[in-house]
Amino acid sequence: MEKRAIGPFWLITISFFKIDLKIQKEKMPEKTYFQVYKQLLLSALIGFSIFLNSCRVESEKLDLSPGKALTFSADTFWFDTVFTDLKTPTLRVRVYNPNDKAVNVKSVYVNGIAGQYPFSFHINGRFGPTRVNDVLIEGKDSAYILVSAKLNPKNQDLPFIVKDSLVFEIEGRNDRPNVKILAYGQDAIYLRNTSVECNTTWSPDRPIILLDTVSVLAGCTLEILSGTKVYGYNSAFLIVRGTLIAQGTKEQPVTFQGTRLENYYSDVPGQWGGILIMNTGRADFNHVNVKNSFRGIQVGEVGFSDDRTKVATMLLRNSKIQNIVDYGVLGINSGILAVNNQFADCGEAAFAGLQGGIYELWHNTFGLSGNNPFQRDGKYQLIFANQLTEFAGPLQVKAVNNLITGTEEDEIAFGDRKGLEALRLDTLFFNNIIKSKQPQFFVNGKANKGNQKLPSDFRFLSAFKYYFAPDTNGNLPVFKTGLPLDTATSAIYPNENLRSILRSDINDENRNISPGIKPDVGAYINQTKKL
C-alpha cells in the first residue's frame, strides 16, 4: 500500500539533533551528555512511530464501529456425500470487508452439534480447528476460509444430513453473520489390506470403501448386487483369485470409482488402482461401470502358462470403462469375451491382449470424449501381441461388429514375436467400422471381411457426456451393416449363451438376430433422439 514520503523530514530532524549535541558536548560533563543523547533519541523514535501511524492509509486504520456487515462469496458450505470416518477435502469461501477501514473479527467459530465438532476450518492460514480469535481484515479486502468435515458414523443404511454454522463476531457490531455448513453423510463399509470372506455378498445398502488392497482368495466367491457402489481410495486394488460376479442393471449398475466425488474429479483418471483378475480368477460383469482408476480391469498375470484351467477368464457385457490412466481392459494370456461395452478415454489402450490368449469382441464401441482432464498417452484403441518381454503364447482374436474410433490414423496395432514359427497369431475381423489406414482390414478374405473405414464426418450423439451412440444425421455405414448374428459362435463361451446376450444392446434395447438381418455396428442400436 502507498505511504507518504518520510525519509527527508527525519533525516533533517536527526541532523539537527546531532549538530545541537555536538555544540552542547563541549559545555557539559560526558555522563550528562550521554543521558541527554538517549533522551533525545527516545523522543525521536516515539515521534517517528506516531508519524508512521498518522501515515497509514485509510484501509489499514481500525474501524471500531463498522457501518457495513461482512459479506461472503457463498452462503453455504455444501458437502455432497461425505463418507463417515473419512476426512473430506476442503471447501473454500471468501469473506469480504466492504468498509473503508479495517475490521477486527474478534472470533470465528463453529457452533458444534451436541458438543461434537464434525467440521474444522482455516481462515487466512490460521487453523481453528473450531475457533480463531482476532482476525484483522483491511478495508475493501477479504480473507479465505477453508472448511473440511469428518462425520461420526450413525450405524444406519440411509443417508443423513448434518448441519452447522461458521459464526463471525465483529468488534463494534452486534450482529453475528454466519455461513451455513451442510453435509450429506453416508455410513460405509471400510476395507483395508484384507481378504473378503468366502461367499460374500456386497449389497447397495452401504457404499464399499477400499482403503487399500482387498482380495478374493482362490476358491472363494464375491457377489456384488445391482446398485452397489464401490469406491477405491488412492492406490487401492481389488485382487481376484477366486470368482467375482457383479450383476447390475441399466437403471442400477454396479459402479467402481474413486472416493473424490466433487464434480471436478468426475472424469479425472488415476484416483485408485483398479481390478485385477489373477490366474485362477474368474469374473462375470454385467452392467458395470469402471472409471477414474489407474488400470480398469486386468485379466491374467505376467508369466506364460499353458495350463488352461489356471488361466484367468472374464465375461464383460453391457458395461462402461472410462477415464483410465493406462489400459481399460488388459488381458495377459487370458480368455475374455466382451459384448456390448463402451470404452472411452484410456491413456495407453482401451483393450489390449498381450502374451497370447483368446479375445473375442462383439458389438463394442471405442471412443474419446474430448474432456480436458483426460490426456491420451498411447497410440491405439486396440493392441494385440503374442509376446511380452521374454514371454510368448498363442494368440487368437475375433472382432465382430465393433465401432473403433479415435484421433490417430490407425487405432489397431498387432505385435508378433519373430523367430517363433510355431507360435500362432490368428485374427478374425468381420464387419467392423475401423479408424485405420491399414489396407489388410478392408480386403475381403478369410481373416478379414466386411470391414469399413470410419467416415471423416462421423460423430457421436454426445461424446462429451459419455453417450457414444452414433449420430443419425447423414448416411453413416454403422447402421444395418453388421454381420448377421444367428450363427454367432465362440471358442470360450457356449454359442447359445452368446446369442442370448447379443439379442439386446448396451441399453437393453432389442437387437434383431434373425437369419440374414444385418444389425447396427457398435454397442448401441440406432438412436433417433439426442440428449
Q: Which of 196, 152, 40, 167 is nearest to 106 (CA)?
A: 167
Residue 49's domain comprises 7-56
Q: Are residues 93 and 134 in the same domain?
A: yes
Q: Are residues 109 and 137 in the same domain?
A: yes
Distance CA 339, CA 505 (A): 9
Tell me whether residue 162 is in a domain: yes
Query: Could you tell me how far CA 263 lies from the centroid of its own chain?
Result: 9
Tell me whether residue 77 is in a domain: yes
Q: Which three cell numbers stand for residue 135?
A: 482476525
Tell me whether residue 99 is in a domain: yes
Out of 186, 209, 236, a domain closes at 186
pLDDT score for 520:
95
Contacts of residue 309, defined as CB under 8 A and 6 or more positions apart, other chains included, come to: none
Q: Are residues 103 and 143 in the same domain?
A: yes
Q: Are residues 79 and 154 in the same domain?
A: yes
Q: Are residues 51 and 77 in the same domain?
A: no
Tell me whether residue 31 is in a domain: yes
Amino acid at 517: I
Q: Are residues 172 and 95 in the same domain?
A: yes
CATH number of the domain to which 90 belongs:
2.60.40.10
pLDDT score for 308:
65
Out of 165, 186, 207, a domain closes at 186
Q: Are residues 122 and 176 in the same domain?
A: yes
pLDDT score for 291:
97
- Number of structural domains the chain divides into: 2
DSSP 441: G
Q: Are residues 155 and 114 in the same domain?
A: yes
Angle at 48 between CA 42 and CA 53, to 5 degrees: 130
Q: Are residues 181 and 112 in the same domain?
A: yes
Angle at 26 between CA 23 and CA 32, to 5 degrees: 100
Phi/psi region, residue 274 (left: phi>0; alpha: psi -120 to 50; beta: rest), is left
Q: Is 269 exposed, middle or buried (0-12, 13-18, 19+ CB in 10 A)?
A: buried
Tell me whether residue 87 is in a domain: yes
Total length of the chain: 531
CB 244 within 8 Å of CB 281: yes
DSSP count for the chain of H helices, then E strands: 3, 42
DSSP 196: P
Q: Which three cell numbers stand for residue 524?
A: 448401441
Tell me whether residue 442 is in a domain: no
Tell me whether residue 168 is in a domain: yes
Tell me whether residue 131 is in a domain: yes
Q: Are residues 24 and 102 in the same domain?
A: no
Q: Are residues 20 and 102 in the same domain?
A: no
In 3-state terms, what secondary structure has residue 169? strand
pLDDT score for 348:
93
pTM confidence score: 0.84
Out of 132, 159, 186, a domain closes at 186
Q: Which three cell numbers stand for residue 70?
A: 461482512
Q: Are residues 47 and 78 in the same domain?
A: no
Residues of the chain with pLDDT under 70: 1-58, 304-306, 308, 388-389, 416-425, 473-476, 527-531
